[in-house]
Structure formats: structure tokens, C-alpha cells
């Protein structure tokens, strides 16, 4: 079955967990026992039935009415398995949101139509980050339409507002808009009769449509990132993950140093193979040992970018200035940044340039980082897996970056 990872995005209380609960019930993807348990618990808390409780399992989540950490549930629709990733909307929990959303191909952005809710900074920040995490398709679900009597004007106004934000951040992927009521199940599986003015498809149909798209890396040549030695003592046996192209037996180049080796044997999932292609994790038997393995890049024809210094767009969860000491995790390896220069500060809640020489938490910016060592990388737009990184301040998570 085709599996697609779909992350919820949006401000807290705009209905992310409720929408998943609703989808699970409408597609018969959750057991009656789990629904009963959620019902029982809603009752215990003196609340009307809360579909979000199908997802929110922690005591603190249910009592507090918020999602703390990311979780997943599966729904199948028309032969596609949608792995629905719930994430917390609260801004302090953004690292949990990012952990969940980093697996997704598609995002459903929840925006509440309630007059006092609407498009919030956090809503836009989630979109800003989603794009950096690898998401190309976004469904904007204007939720809680029941609270505004399913009025077209409310929907249109929000759609315009979000569209101008997408323009600000140069979002080039697919965007679809659907008015829904997650709680009442309106426009989720069937077209809602309450919104006859809406000419598009219900949410699950839009999801189905987007599930058929799959972005391919722009680089067609072989790039494989080395994971490490398979046995510490045998330095001729390495493991690598192929990100683009195919690896065949014979001469390979190992970067950043450009050392030549011969691949004598290739083993994928326990079987000897003639070639290993995109997404394979391959065991490679080399003709001669390597001194080190982790974070190296294997190529056969064209050369990756070899550099000590990277230019990147970052989204930061910490304060980041020219003097910040950070470490970069790139290609599974860690680099203590020798020098960090903030070249531009960007307000992640509107995508616009901002004055100043430091990036404050939950904002973005363009930076130059001196890694102190040569690495083989690619631009994120060319090959995601070789152009993205996370950074830390000590052991504290600091954010994500993409190489431009």
C-alpha cells in the first residue's frame, strides 16, 4: 500500500488532534475500543466527546487539553495509507512539532475561522518551518466553519491572507484550500451540504490527489552518504544510504577527499545485488580500508560541492548572534562551528526581512557557517538529504538549516 506521511500544522487549539480523530473515525481506521475509551474519558472530565483524545494519550495532555508530544495514527483512504502525524501547536513545544513534521511529505495547516482565532503568528511560523523540513504540498484547512455559520466571506478573507504569506516566503509547492468543521466532520470525507458555495473537493479527496505527487531529487547522479563501518574492526566493510542515482560495483570516489576505492560487493537487505539505488541502505565491501567512514559521500561521476563554509537559511529556537557557539549536525556528523555570521534576519511569522544583527528565538535568518573541516554537501533545493542540518547550543536543540 502506498504510504504518505501527513503532518498537522497550526496554532494550538485550532483543531489538529480533533481533525485526526475525526478522519480516523470517518475512515473506520480506529478500533471501537479506542473510541469508547476516548468517550469514557471525555465524560469523566465532564466534556462533550473529544475526538482528540483518540490521539492525546498522556494524562497531562487530556487534563490540560493540549498535545505535548508528536504522535501518529494511520488512516486508509482509497488504497492509500495516510500516516497522520499530530504535533503540538504550543510554541514552547516547537522542537516536538519539528520532530514529527520532519517525516512528512504533506502538511495540513489548520486555521480556525473563529473571529478571535484566525491566522496567528504560530500558524505562519509552522508553514515557514514545514518548508524547511521538506514539505512540498500543503492543504490549508479553514476549520471551525460551524462557529461562523459556514459563511463564505470568512473563508475567502482567510484564504487571501494566507495566500499573501505564501507569496512572501516564495513557497513554490502545491497549496489547496478546504473549509471544514473537524468536530462535526463537515467536508472531511463527503462534500458538506452546509457549504454549497464551496466548489472544491472534500479534504480527504484533496489529500488523495496530493498523495500521487512525489518529489524526486534534482540530482540524478549517484550520491550516497556513508553511515559508518559495519564492524569496527573491518574497515573495508561500510554501510551507506543512497540518496540519488544508483551505486554499482567498480570504482567509486569518496568525498570530501576524493579518494578512489573499488566496490567489490554490494549487499542490500541481506542480499547481494548488482546495484543499489535511491533509498537503499547498502553494505559495501571495499578493496582497501578507509580511515574513517561516517559522513563521507560516495559518488561515481559528478562531484558534490566540497566546502568548509556553508551559506544557509536557518530557523532558530534559540537566540543566535555572531558570537553564538553552536554545533552543526550534518550528514550524521557533528561539527563545532568555527565561525558564525548572521547575514540577514527574517521574521518567521511573516517571512519578511527584519533589522538587527541577531536572530531571536522562533525567527529565521540567513547565515554563513565555517565548519572548520571540509564536507561534501549539496544545495537543499538539489538534494534534500545532503543540504539540511540541525544545530545545537551545547546539548540544547537550536533549530534547523538548509543550504542555499
Q: What is the largest CA-CA distance in the chain?
A: 71
Query: Is residue 98 within a helix (H) or strand (E), and if so which, with residue range?
Result: helix 94-101
Handedness of CA 247, 253, 257, 260 (dihedral sign): positive
Among 126, 118, 105, smallest CA distance to 159 is for 118
Q: For residue 195, what is its C-alpha cell?
A: 457549504
> What is d(CA 121, CA 99) in angstroms, rounded to the nearest whole number?
20
Q: Number of residues in contact with another protein, rule: CB under 8 A?
A: 56
| Buried-exposed string 384-394: b where 16+ CB fall within 10 A, e elsewhere | bbbbbbbbbbe
Q: In sequence order, which residues have a C-beta less than 8 Å from that of residue 270 and are 6 or more positions away?
A: none
Binding mask 363-392 for another protein (x = CB under 8 A): ----------------------x--x-x-x
Are the CB atoms for 97 and 21 separated by under 8 Å? no
Residue 57 binding another protein, by CB under 8 A: yes
Strand order in the sheet with 2-10: 71-77, 80-86, 2-10, 106-112, 137-143, 174-179
Return the range that interacts with another protein (CB under 8 A); candidates 143-151, 162-170, 280-288, 351-359: 280-288
Q: What is the nearest approach in angstroms of another protein to the Cβ of residue 229?
A: 7
Residue 278 binding another protein, by CB under 8 A: no
Of the residues 6, 24, 55, 106, which one makes contact with another protein according to CB under 8 A? 55
Task: Please return the burial class of 121, using the count of CB atoms within 10 Å of its CB with bins 0-12, 13-18 and 19+.
Answer: middle
Looking at the Cβ atoms of 4 and 176, the one nearer to another protein is 4
Binding mask 324-353 for another protein (x = CB under 8 A): -----x--x---------------------
Binding mask 242-271 for another protein (x = CB under 8 A): -------------------------xxxx-
Restricted to residues 30-49, the positions that interact with another protein (CB under 8 A) are 31-34, 41
> What is d(CA 204, CA 187) in angstroms, rounded to the nearest whole number?
9
Looking at the Cβ atoms of 10 and 398, the one nearer to another protein is 398
Q: What is the nearest approach in angstroms of another protein to the Cβ of residue 71?
A: 4
Looking at the Cβ atoms of 37 and 161, the one nearer to another protein is 37
Are the CB atoms for 96 and 88 separated by under 8 Å? yes
Of the residues 9, 123, 136, 227, which one makes contact with another protein according to CB under 8 A? 227
Residue 231 binding another protein, by CB under 8 A: yes
Of the residues 9, 17, 18, 29, which one makes contact with another protein according to CB under 8 A? 29
Restricted to residues 61-80, the positions that interact with another protein (CB under 8 A) are 68-74, 76
Whole-angstrom CA distances from 368 to 322, 341, 385 are 10, 5, 19
Beta strands in 256-384 (DSSP E): 259-268, 271-273, 275-277, 281-286, 297-299, 305-316, 327-330, 333-336, 339-347, 352-354, 363-377
Provide the 8-state DSSP code for 385.
G
Looking at the Cβ atoms of 94 and 182, the one nearer to another protein is 94
Q: What is the nearest approach in angstroms of another protein to the Cβ of residue 37?
A: 9
Residue 308 binding another protein, by CB under 8 A: no
Return the range that interacts with another protein (CB under 8 A); candidates 180-188, 276-284, 355-363, 371-379: 276-284
Residue 116 binding another protein, by CB under 8 A: no
Residue 294 binding another protein, by CB under 8 A: yes
Query: Is residue 164 within a helix (H) or strand (E), and if so which, with residue range?
Result: helix 152-168
Which stretches of the chain bind another protein, using CB under 8 A?
Answer: 1, 3, 29, 31-34, 41, 55, 57-60, 68-74, 76, 81, 95-96, 98-99, 102-103, 133-134, 227-231, 237, 239, 241, 267-270, 279-281, 283, 294, 329, 332, 385, 388, 390, 392, 395, 397, 400
Amino acid at each position: 500500500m502506498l504510504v504518505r506521511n501527513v503532518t498537522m500544522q497550526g496554532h494550538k487549539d485550532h483543531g489538529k488532534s480533533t481533525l485526526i480523530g475525526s478522519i480516523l473515525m470517518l475512515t473506520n481506521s480506529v478500533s471501537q475500543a479506542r473510541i469508547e475509551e476516548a468517550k469514557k474519558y471525555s465524560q469523566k472530565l465532564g466534556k462533550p466527546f473529544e475526538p482528540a483524545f483518540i490521539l492525546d494519550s498522556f494524562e497531562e495532555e487530556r487534563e490540560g487539553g493540549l498535545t505535548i508530544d508528536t504522535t501518529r495514527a494511520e488512516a486508509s483512504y482509497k488504497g492509500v495509507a495516510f500516516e497522520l502525524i499530530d504535533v503540538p501547536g504550543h510554541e514552547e513545544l516547537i522542537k516536538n512539532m519539528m520532530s514529527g513534521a520532519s517525516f512528512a511529505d504533506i502538511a495540513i495547516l489548520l486555521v480556525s475561522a473563529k473571529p478571535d482565532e484566525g491566522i496567528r503568528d504560530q500558524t505562519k511560523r509552522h508553514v515557514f518551518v514545514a518548508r524547511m523540513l521538506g514539505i512540498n504540498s500543503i492543504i490549508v484547512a479553514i476549520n471551525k466553519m460551524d462557529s461562523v455559520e459556514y459563511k463564505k466571506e470568512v473563508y475567502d478573507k482567510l484564504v487571501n491572507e494566507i495566500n499573501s504569506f505564501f507569496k512572501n516566503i516564495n513557497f513554490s509547492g502545491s497549496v489547496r484550500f478546504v473549509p471544514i468543521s473537524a468536530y462535526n466532520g463537515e467536508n472531511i470525507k463527503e462534500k458538506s451540504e452546509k457549504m454549497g458555495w464551496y466548489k472544491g473537493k472534500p479534504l480527504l479527496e484533496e489529500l488523495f490527489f496530493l498523495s500521487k505527487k512525489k518529489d524526486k531529487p534534482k540530482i540524478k547522479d549517484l550520491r550516497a552518504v556513508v553511515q559508518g563501518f559495519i564492524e569496527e574492526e573491518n574497515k573495508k566493510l561500510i554501510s551507506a544510504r543512497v540518496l540519488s542515482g544508483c551505486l554499482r560495483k567498480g570504482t567509486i570516489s569518496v568525498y570530501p577527499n576524493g579518494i578512489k576505492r573499488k566496490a567489490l560487493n554490494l549487499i542490500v537487505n541481506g542480499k547481494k545485488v548488482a546495484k543499489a539505488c535511491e533509498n537503499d541502505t547498502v553494505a559495501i565491501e571495499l578493496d582497501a580500508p578507509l580511515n574513517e567512514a561516517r559522513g563521507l559521500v560516495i559518488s561515481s561521476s559528478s562531484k558534490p560541492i566540497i566546502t568548509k563554509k556553508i551559506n544557509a537559511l536557518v530557523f532558530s529556537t534559540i537566540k543566535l548572534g555572531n558570537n553564538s557557539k553552536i554545533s552543526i549536525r550534518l550528514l550524521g556528523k557533528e561539527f563545532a562551528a568555527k565561525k558564525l555570521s548572521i547575514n540577514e534576519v527574517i521574521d518567521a511569522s511573516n517571512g519578511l526581512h527584519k533589522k538587527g544583527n541577531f536572530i531571536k528565538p522562533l525567527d529565521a535568518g540567513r547565515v554563513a557557517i565555517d565548519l572548520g573541516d571540509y564536507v561534501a554537501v549539496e544545495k537543499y533545493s538539489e538534494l534534500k538529504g545532503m543540504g539540511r542540518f540541525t544545530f545545537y547550543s551545547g546539548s540544547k536543540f537550536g533549530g534547523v538549516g538548509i543550504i542555499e
